[in-house]
Structure 1
Amino acid sequence: MRLIVAIGGNALLKRGDTLGIGEQRRNMGEAATALAALTREHELVLVHGNGPQVGLLALEADAYKGAPPYPLDVLGAESQGMIGYVIEEAMRRALPEREIVTV
């Protein structure tokens, strides 16, 4: 059976975490370990949110006065690419024998 699993942006950055990539990688690693067990019987399709991540990028863009801030759609695309990469990297570590595809 094919399962669609939504990973919210808040799952990658938990309350109290600093807003760094290390925390997001650690949290996704924990999730990937749990998700790997599901792949024994199911095909997984992972989707994700990006609220905290795009918010952080918007704050960073606003704080830098050397250039006009990027529009929210561009910041959204940037955060989506980063999160997709973090998910793929964690799933590859959890399932080294499986083909992992990111779109």
Structure 2
Amino acid sequence: MKTIRNETRKLPVKLTDGEMLEQASELAHTIQEAADETDSQASLKAQMKARLMELDAKQSRLASVVATKTDYRDVEVEIAITDDGVAQETRKDTGEIISTRPLREDEKQLQMDTP
């Protein structure tokens, strides 16, 4: 018989006990890596979802501000007891009276305590 060429092919080869242990160890390591990657991706997905929800909420708030041309801000309000014995709430930034209402119990006490 005359050899005309040599080739290398992928063919099944029986593993030694040492090679089996090495492959089993690599399999266990790969399984753990896959589980870690799954956890990492789930965490990242949750972070991305939270960020999108944050942006959606901001977008809705800004759309409302633009549509109504108003925004809610902290404004100092003066609460005074009028000569008629009612509480009057006035914006300190514009001087606009925002409400007139009956006195609360604690305010009635203040009215009695002041000369």
Instruction: Considering Cα pairs closer than 8 Å and 6+ residues apart, tell me whether 1 or 2 has the greater RCO.
Output: 1
Q: How high is the TM-score relative to the length of structure 2?
A: 0.24
Q: How high is the TM-score relative to the length of structure 1?
A: 0.27
Q: Higher Cα Rg: structure 1 or 2?
A: 2
